[in-house]
Amino acid sequence: MAGLPVKVLLADRGYDANHVADTARTGGSKVVIPSKRSRMEARSYDREQYKKRHLIEHVFRWLNQWRDSATCYALAMLNALIPILPLSLLDVSPSPLDDTS
């Protein structure tokens, strides 16, 4: 977070720690983190804004799925080229000694 302009810090319960919230607030960010169930005093947060967090998670999930499929296609392409590569390394140009004229 250091050096990044963050207006709102959206996180799940796993990041409910005082040092995380304090660091975000000192940077001028609004903290939207629900309290853990074990917290003695519940922290208030914007529930409507927290509901939008799933949109960000879906974008990252989509990017990861796209990366996985792109990697899969790249490996398939490489596997298709592997039998051809040794042939391309052979020198099939005519030799000057083979001149039969």
pLDDT tens digits for 42-96?
A: 888 888 888 888 888 888 888 888 777 777 667 777 666 666 655 555 555 555 6
Q: Looking at the domain assignment, is residue 45 inside a domain?
A: yes
Residue 101 — pLDDT band, cuts 50, 70, 90? low
DSSP 7: S
Check if the beta carbon of residue 71 is closer than 8 Å to that of residue 65: no
The count of structural domains within the chain is: 1
Check if the beta carbon of residue 11 is closer than 8 Å to that of residue 34: no
DSSP 54: H
Q: What Rg value do the Cα atoms of the chain yield, rounded?
A: 28
Residue 30: domain span? 8-79
Q: Looking at the domain assignment, is residue 54 inside a domain?
A: yes
Q: What is the pLDDT of residues 9-31, one digit of tens each?
A: 888 888 888 898 888 888 888 88
Dihedral in degrees, nearest 10, Cα atoms 22, 24, 30, 36: -60
Q: Looking at the domain assignment, is residue 74 inside a domain?
A: yes
Q: Looking at the domain assignment, is residue 56 inside a domain?
A: yes
pLDDT of residue 82: 65
Q: Looking at the domain assignment, is residue 25 inside a domain?
A: yes
pLDDT of residue 56: 81
Q: Looking at the domain assignment, is residue 99 inside a domain?
A: no
